[in-house]
């Protein structure tokens, strides 16, 4: 698999795999928010891949979501949008598929 294909797969995983973001969303401050929808923007130029060690890093990504306070009876949304960086490891499951194994996301968890 080409480096650019690996970068595309990593960006796609960050955009579609909720498991990557669950720790971030579960640790927002203040707590008890539910994520309604979310969006991730990562430029391929901001993803660095080391294929021999199967590691990657993201320098400048952007994460945005709509959060609702669980105890809020009115269900008012709060927009949470922050830049982030990340690093992690991946495995090539087959010629056209990667799986992110470990990821560490650096992002400001304070909503306000």
71 pLDDT tier (thresholds 50, 70, 90): low
* Rounded CA separation 69/63 (Å): 19
Domain boundaries, the chain: 3-107
Whole-number Cα distances in Å, 41 to 18, 95, 109? 14, 25, 18
Strand-pairing partners, residue 68, are 34, 77
Q: What is the pLDDT of residues 25-51, one digit of tens each?
A: 888 888 778 887 889 999 999 999 999
Q: What is the pLDDT of residues 96-111, one digit of tens each?
A: 789 999 999 999 988 8
CB 83, CB 61: distance < 8 Å: yes
Q: What is the mean pLDDT of residues 45-61?
A: 96
Q: Sort 14 into a burial class: Cβ within 10 Å, 0-12 / 13-18 / 19+.
A: buried
Mean pLDDT of the chain: 89
Strand boundaries in the chain, DSSP class E = 33-42, 47-50, 55-69, 77-94, 97-107
Residue 42 makes CB contacts below 8 A (sequence gap 6+) with 10, 11, 14, 15, 58, 61, 62
pTM of the model: 0.87
């Amino acid at each position: 698999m080409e480096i650019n294909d690996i970068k595309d797969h990593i960006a796609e995983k960050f955009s579609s795999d909720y498991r990557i973001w669950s720790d971030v969303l579960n640790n927002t401050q203040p707590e008890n928010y539910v994520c309604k929808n979310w969006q991730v923007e990562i430029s391929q130029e901001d993803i660095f891949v080391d294929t021999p060690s199967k590691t990657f890093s993201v320098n400048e990504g952007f994460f945005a979501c709509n959060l609702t306070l669980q105890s809020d009876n009115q269900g008012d949304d709060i927009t949470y949008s922050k830049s982030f960086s990340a690093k992690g490891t991946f495995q090539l499951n087959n010629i056209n598929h990667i799986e992110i194994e470990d990821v560490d996301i650096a992002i400001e968890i304070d909503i306000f």
